[in-house]
Amino acid sequence: MNRLPIIFLFCMISFAATTKAQNNCDQNVKQAEEFFNNGDYENAVQILEKSIKECNFSKKKEEIALEILAKCYLEQDNIARADATVKNMLEKNPHYELKGSETHEDFVLLVKKFVSHPLFSIGIRNAALQPKFKVTKTYSILENVDYTVPYETAKTFLLYYAWAEYEFTKNISVNVEFINFSLNYNRSFSRENDWDMIFQENLSFIEIPLYLKKHFQAGKNIVPYASLGFGYLRMIEANATSYITYTNEDIFNGKKTDYSATGKIDMLNMRNKNTFEWIAGCGIGYKFKNLGIFLDAKYSKGFNSLTNSANRFNNTTLTNDYFYIDNSIQLNKVELGISISYTLKNSIRKVR
């Protein structure tokens, strides 16, 4: 037996019933509006309370129903129910705007007593990061070798990471980010013309910045801001490669031989796995309803050294075969980025 006609008939009946119910709901709102205009607030309230509870209104139609209901409560001097209805309306549409043709003064005043601001937002940032190592103390092993040579890093590289923002009061928020990044550096040493050494290292981090952000309203949609906070860095990998070449001269016969070696070394036990930084930033954004796009800049400066002073001489292969020693270094960063955000929840609060 072919069931398709039966299924089709059932769908048509369901669609017709849903359409009829929706038309009845829309008609109820029109009837309630007529009752309101005629001063019959009690019947208007009864119809609207029942319809809002039972009907599957569109967002716009539900907003109209709540507007009329709040006005009815105001006319009945039921301020508590009017407050609750307006708050409900604003929670459903945090970006509600009064119509220019609105003439109900009490309703206008009541709506203006509520303020709305983003409560919880998430975003993703694409940023260009420029790292810089600052040497705070220099160590040496061989004489006539300049161990102050800089830690040369890649100039810039791109990052993609997520962030979250909680605006606990209007225009002031706490922000947290989760960043996973790697960077490398190299140092080149030489002594006269008989000894050369290159040390290269790749460092991988998980970074969790936490900071306060202050927003400044520069217009309806333009939002500049400044931020200040601190960050935690967890080093998860530190892998190095050393290259050395030199000329070895026999002290008895004066014969010279060239020597070279390459070694790969796990440096993690010679590094401070946990370091901290302070962060300052600024930016400007454009917000439209729950969406936002921001341009921002951030500077971070390390508090403590990435290298572990207690373990500086632990790797004898590194010190005896490659004549390499760590300096004490801090990691500083400059970051320029663009963010896209979405507000998941807004805060609605009556202020007066």
Residues 178 and 72 in one domain: no
Residue 3 confidence (pLDDT): 57
Q: Which residues of the chain have pLDDT under 70?
A: 1-23, 250-254
Residue 2 confidence (pLDDT): 54
CB burial string 281-302: b at 16+ within 10 A, e below: bbbebebeeeebebebebebeb
Residues 62 and 126 in one domain: no
Residue 7 confidence (pLDDT): 52
Q: Provide the domain count of the chain.
A: 2
Residue 294 confidence (pLDDT): 96
Residues 236 and 301 in one domain: yes
Residues 41 and 173 in one domain: no
**Residue pLDDT, tens place only, 74-132:** 999 999 999 999 999 999 999 999 988 888 999 999 999 999 999 999 999 999 999 99
Residue 18 confidence (pLDDT): 43
Q: What single string gives the DSSP state of each residue in 111-125?
A: HHTEEEEEEEEEEEE
User: Do residues 201 and 237 touch, judged by C-beta distance below 8 A?
Assistant: no
Residues 163 and 278 in one domain: yes
Residues 216 and 156 in one domain: yes
CATH label of the domain that carries residue 262: 2.40.160.20
Residue 251 confidence (pLDDT): 65
Residues 203 and 307 in one domain: yes
Residue 219 confidence (pLDDT): 82
Residue 103 confidence (pLDDT): 84
Task: Please give the residue range of the domain that contains residue 337.
Answer: 118-350
In 3D space, the residue among 76, 61, 74, 77 whose CA is nearest the CA of residue 29 turns out to be: 61
Q: What gap in Å lies between CA 4 and CA 46, rounded to an integer?
A: 43
